[in-house]
Amino acid sequence: MPPVSAVRQGAGLMRMNLADILADAASKHPDRIAIRHRADSITYAGLARAAAARAARLRALGVAPGDRVLIFVPMSIALYEILLAVFAVGAVAVFVDAWADARRLDAAVSLADCKAFIGIPLSFMLMLKSRAMRRVPVKLLPSFGKTALKRGDASWMAHGCDPADPALITFTTGSTGTPKAALRSHGFLLEQHHVLRDELEMTADDVDLATLPIFVLNNLGCGATTIIPDCDMRRADEFPAEKVLGEIMRYGVTSSAGSPAFYARLATAVAPDSPALPLKRLYVGGAAVHQDFARDLLAAFPAARICALYGSTEAEPIASIAARELAEAEVSQAGLPAGRICDSIEAAIIPLGIATHGIMSEAEWQSICLPPDTPGEICVAGPHVLRHYYRNPEAERENKIHVGERCFHRTGDAGRLSGDGRLHLLGRASQVFRRADGTMCYPFLVESALRGLPGVSAVSMVHIEGMGAVLAVETAASQVRGQADIEARIAARGVSADRIVFMRHIPRDPRHRSKIDVPRLIAKIRDSVSTKN
């Protein structure tokens, strides 16, 4: 297996393949456990052999460099054997989350024009509803390629790629609009690995509980051991937390990264008299981490160093803050502290709602950048900031600003940036609105002010044409008296709304189950109001 340093020369270009960094870890730590999942485990050497066997099978079936391969396989050992095989062939892995439905799968296959589809048996039932899936030439179950592995005739051979060659396509959740296909190159993923390795301080000695698929690739590049928790990650807020805590103890888990919903569930299962957990580091991201939740995490995992990460599909991570610092910060109109900007990120704030075109001169760019501590939209540039969407020039024009060699991504988040590079979050830029009295309303700040209300599990402020500022309140209180008490507590915290709507469930995003799905919420409120009328 070639070492990472063996970057190949070809046609005057540096040649590389992301799979080589993982193969390099296998050459250094052949007998170390790479991944554990339920009762199964695989060493680094075994993972490399399995990926090589699967890559040989893909080549035999005609999958060539540049072909797109749709993968619909949940987090498992098989998933990473398949991903490594696709990378080694030089093909492009099109990754769809396990919670995707037939419509989302059909859209992914149609957009990517896939040469192959690899999916669990149940996913083949979806072909009855998807003409695009039925047209895919090569269709495989996750068990493909095992015959060559049993014969022992699989050897590692990764296709040499240009750093700019595409490697991975994933999709945004679409909770704030139409899902976009994020295109990552081999070079981009390598840069992201370096940033994550440094930010998460991952080493080969770590045992990591992984809840997010992309973080496993980082673990493999570091030579660490990954534990995939024995639970359904499609329900990050509903899983047997005691079982996962048992895995943390049994396997000596030292680090973990995941969503607030996952760790909120895990924290509630930690009993006061529980033995000390081996966790040394815990990273929370994918949704906002508020001060009260930071205090809860510190209480549940006192021996761990806990950090909140801010980022997005297009740029992960952007900023980080220690939970202890966050817990001591006051809730204020300045926004939620997100900490320092990562060293490899260049951040700027531009006016909310400003129209930009794809290319700007340095002078044009500087003319729209706002001074420190001024609220606006967060923009970021850097080696691990996504430069392209797949076959979506409109999304690129709306979200990317090219300034010389730098490409700034418009995150769609509102925030403030201090002169010393510390960030405060103000929620989604598209949800900021002007009230009837002319003042600006940041729904995120309203929701932050109302956290922890007795009898209330979630709140969300939205602006709906014809209704004004509508406050949605998730509560089990069904009686008028109970709702009146909640309204009084809301007013006592200085929050006003044109209308308060009580509901049993406020829709969450399907990936992390931590962020509010605003389009679905607005539709639900409209339906509720029209039904009552």
* Per-residue pLDDT at 55: 95
* Same domain membership, residue 341 and residue 220: yes
Is residue 78 included in any domain, yes or no?
yes
Is residue 152 included in any domain, yes or no?
yes
Residue 230 has pLDDT above 60, yes or no: yes
Domain boundary among 151, 183, 215: 183
* Per-residue pLDDT at 476: 84
* Surface-to-core class of residue 422, CB atoms within 10 Å of its CB (0-12 exposed, 13-18 middle, 19+ buried): middle
Residue type for position 64? A
* Same domain membership, residue 311 and residue 242: yes
* Same domain membership, residue 166 and residue 33: yes
Q: Evaluate the CA torsion angle 166, 170, 172, 177 in order and state its sign.
A: positive
| pLDDT tens, position by position, 167-202 | 999 987 654 446 789 999 999 999 999 999 999 999
CATH number for position 78: 3.40.50.980
* Per-residue pLDDT at 226: 98
Give mean pLDDT, residues 203-222: 94
* Same domain membership, residue 292 and residue 271: yes
Contact present, 345 and 380 (Cβ < 8 Å): yes
Most confidently modeled of 164-168, 169-173, 390-394? 164-168
Closest CA to 169 of 123, 114, 118: 114
* Same domain membership, residue 260 and residue 310: yes
Domain boundary among 403, 428, 453: 428
Residue 150 has pLDDT above 90, yes or no: no
* Same domain membership, residue 164 and residue 32: yes
Tokens (6 digits) for 530: 């029209």
Is residue 330 included in any domain, yes or no?
yes
* Per-residue pLDDT at 16: 83
pLDDT band at 144 (very low <50, low <70, confident <90, very high): very high
* Per-residue pLDDT at 3: 40
The residues, ordered by sequence, that sit 6+ positions from 477 with a Cβ below 8 Å of its Cβ are: 455, 483, 485, 486, 502
* Same domain membership, residue 367 and residue 267: yes
Residue 30 has pLDDT above 90, yes or no: yes
Tokens (6 digits) for 434: 């002007």
* Per-residue pLDDT at 152: 53
Give mean pLDDT, residues 16-21: 89
3-state helix/strand/coil string of 496-517: CCCEEEEECCCCECCCCCCCEC
Express as a percent the part of the chain with pLDDT over 70: 92
Residue 353 has pLDDT above 50, yes or no: yes
Determine the Cα–Cα distance for residues 52 and 46; give it in Å rounded to an integer.
10
| pLDDT tens, position by position, 34-82 | 999 999 999 999 999 999 999 999 999 999 999 999 999 999 999 999 9
* Same domain membership, residue 342 and residue 216: yes
Contact present, 92 and 69 (Cβ < 8 Å): yes
* Per-residue pLDDT at 241: 94
* Per-residue pLDDT at 9: 45
Closest CA to 236 of 518, 37, 503, 515: 515
Most confidently modeled of 156-160, 269-273, 377-381? 377-381
* Per-residue pLDDT at 446: 95
Determine the Cα–Cα distance for residues 336 and 426; give it in Å rounded to an integer.
7
User: Which tops the pLDDT comparison, 9 or 136?
Assistant: 136
Is residue 393 included in any domain, yes or no?
yes
For the residues of 207-267, what is the DSSP string, one character each? EEEE-SHHHHHHHHHHT-EEEE-SS-TT-TTSS-HHHHHHHHHHHT--EEEE-HHHHHHHH
520-527, Cβ contacts within 8 angstroms, sequence gap of 24 or more = 520/175, 521/460, 521/462, 521/472, 522/462, 522/464, 525/462, 525/464, 525/467, 525/470, 525/472, 525/501, 526/464
Angle 213-222/186-200 helices, nearest 10 degrees?
80
* pTM, full prediction: 0.90
Secondary structure letter of residue 141 according to DSSP? -
pLDDT band at 435 (very low <50, low <70, confident <90, very high): very high
The residues, ordered by sequence, that sit 6+ positions from 186 with a Cβ below 8 Å of its Cβ are: 16, 17, 18, 87, 161, 162, 163, 164, 165, 167
Is residue 59 included in any domain, yes or no?
yes
Is residue 209 included in any domain, yes or no?
yes
* Per-residue pLDDT at 173: 61
Closest CA to 118 of 149, 148, 84, 152: 84
* Per-residue pLDDT at 12: 42
CA dihedral 323, 325, 329, 335 (to 10 degrees): -70
CATH number for position 494: 3.30.300.30
Most confidently modeled of 23-37, 145-159, 507-521? 23-37
Q: No. of H helices and E strands in the chain?
A: 18, 28
- What is residue 38's three-state secondary structure? coil
Is residue 55 included in any domain, yes or no?
yes
Q: What angle do CA 428, 433, 436 make, to 5 degrees?
A: 160
Domain boundary among 167, 183, 199: 183
| Average pLDDT in the chain | 90
- What is residue 444's three-state secondary structure? helix
Tokens (6 digits) for 506: 């406020």
CATH number for position 281: 3.40.50.12780
* Per-residue pLDDT at 532: 66
Determine the Cα–Cα distance for residues 462 and 454; give it in Å rounded to an integer.
21
Residue 530 has pLDDT above 90, yes or no: no
* Same domain membership, residue 151 and residue 109: yes
Q: In the chain, what's the furthest Cα-to-Cα distance?
A: 76
Residue 395 has pLDDT above 50, yes or no: yes
| pLDDT tens, position by position, 253-304 | 999 999 998 999 999 999 888 889 999 999 999 889 999 999 999 999 999 9
Residue 142 has pLDDT above 50, yes or no: yes
Is residue 251 included in any domain, yes or no?
yes
Tokens (6 digits) for 288: 């906002």
Q: What angle do CA 470, 476, 480 make, to 5 degrees?
A: 70
Express as a percent the part of the chain with pLDDT over 90: 75
Contact present, 32 and 43 (Cβ < 8 Å): yes
Tokens (6 digits) for 242: 């005691």
Determine the Cα–Cα distance for residues 262 and 265; give it in Å rounded to an integer.
5
The residue written with tokens 């499609």 in the block is: 234
3-state helix/strand/coil string of 472-505: EEEECCCCHHHHHHHHHHHHHCCCCCCEEEEECC
| pLDDT tens, position by position, 472-493 | 999 987 666 789 999 999 999 9
* Per-residue pLDDT at 237: 72
* Same domain membership, residue 348 and residue 247: yes
* Per-residue pLDDT at 10: 43
311-314, Cβ contacts within 8 angstroms, sequence gap of 24 or more = 311/285, 312/409, 312/411, 312/413, 313/170, 313/172, 313/182, 313/386, 314/172, 314/182, 314/385, 314/386, 314/399, 314/409, 314/411
Residue type for position 494? G
Domain count, the chain: 3
The residues, ordered by sequence, that sit 6+ positions from 321 with a Cβ below 8 Å of its Cβ are: 307, 308, 310, 337, 338, 339, 340
Of 3-7, 262-266, 269-273, 384-388, which gets the smallest average pLDDT? 3-7
* Same domain membership, residue 352 and residue 278: yes
* Same domain membership, residue 259 and residue 320: yes
The residues, ordered by sequence, that sit 6+ positions from 434 with a Cβ below 8 Å of its Cβ are: 440, 441
Tokens (6 digits) for 527: 């339906």
Residue 5 has pLDDT above 80, yes or no: no
Provide the residue range defining the domain that includes 292.
191-428
Residue type for position 424? H
